[in-house]
Amino acid sequence: METLLIISLFLLFVIYAGYGIAIAVYNRLNPFSRNNQTIEGFELPEVAVLVAAYNEEDVIEDKIHNTLNLDYPSSKLKMYVISDGSTDRTNEIVSRYPEVTLIYQPIRKGKSAAINRAIPFIKESIVVFTDANVKISGSGIRELCVEYADARVGGVSGEKVVLKDERAAAASTEGMYWKYESFLKKKMLNYLLSSVQPENSSQSEPNYSNRFRKTHCSTTS
Q: What is the pLDDT of residue 47?
A: 97
Q: Tell whether the model's pLDDT for residue 106 goes beyond 90.
A: yes
pLDDT in tens, 19-37: 778 877 877 777 665 555 5
**CATH numbers and ranges of domains, the chain:** 17-32+150-196+207-221 (no CATH), 36-132 (3.90.550.10)
pLDDT in tens, 121-162: 999 999 999 999 999 999 999 999 988 887 777 888 887 777
Give the DSSP letter string of 54-94.
SS-TTTHHHHHHHHHTSSS-GGGEEEEEE-TT--SSHHHHH
Neighbour count for residue 147 (Cβ, 10 Å): 21
Q: Tell whether the model's pLDDT for residue 211 goes beyond 50.
A: no
Rg value, the chain, Cα: 21
Say what the pTM is: 0.71
Distance CA 86, CA 54 (A): 5
